[in-house]
Amino acid sequence: MAPRVVPFLIFLLLTAGQGEFGHASSYWFYLAKTVVGLWMIAEMWPLVTEMRWAFSWEAVAVGLGVLVMWIGLDPWFPHLHLSKAAEEDSNPLLVFGAHSPLAFFFLGVHLFGMTVVVPPLEEVFYRSFLYRYIVRPNFLEVPLNRFLPIPFFATAIVFGFEHSQWLAGILCGLAYQWLVWRKNRLGDAMLAHAITNFLLGSWVIWQGAWYFW
């Protein structure tokens, strides 16, 4: 249980510190949790055998579909924990200056972190651990391809309310869990999650839609 749960909780703790010590702290904490996240993934790798990247057309399709859904649904439901100040703090070009090398550095850090670090940590916690733990405390006895309605929806709801865009998050959680169930492995959901996050991050930078961060 520990290698699946503790890294995720540490990542959440560092996330909670973002912006608590001034505007710029949000970026330094994101850098810290990205570096710590990479280290934790390296430590988890030999212990969490299902945490392996995998490629499939379904993963690509789900990753793209979730991106379209995430952006398309955005105007149609209220968000959680979102304010104008928080939106402005998410724009490093305002915090550090439009032509600051530091601003572009942190843009790169954010895009890298949400693409490479976030998917393995979240998929291991939600899809590998939580989904199966709801069924049985000895969760490793539960196969990944066993469809269980209550954990299926409960895990997606918990995952959804981790995000400000909670409705999109719930649907996203259902899509990633479906991938795990269909492919009987975690890697496709990790890839789909990475595709969604990378393209969403690129959209944020391109369109200036900072509230998605």
Per-residue pLDDT of the chain (213 residues; tens, 9 = 90+): 999 999 999 999 999 888 788 778 889 999 999 999 999 999 999 999 999 999 999 999 999 999 999 999 998 988 886 544 455 567 888 888 888 999 999 999 999 999 999 999 999 999 999 999 999 999 999 999 999 999 999 999 999 999 989 999 999 999 999 999 999 999 999 999 999 999 999 999 999 888 888
Question: Could you tell me if residue 4 is inside a domain?
Answer: no
The tally of domains found in the chain comes to 1
Q: In whole angstroms, give the CA distance from residue 190 to residue 105.
A: 25
Classify residue 16: in a domain, yes or no. Answer: no
Cα distance between residue 177 and residue 164, in whole Å: 20
Is residue 59 assigned to a domain?
yes
How far is CA 124 from each of CA 45, 84, 87, 129, 130, rounded to the nearest angstrom? 11, 33, 29, 6, 9
For residue 204, the enclosing domain spans 54-212
Whether residue 170 is contained in a domain is answered as yes
Computed over its alpha carbons, how large is the radius of gyration of the chain? Answer: 17
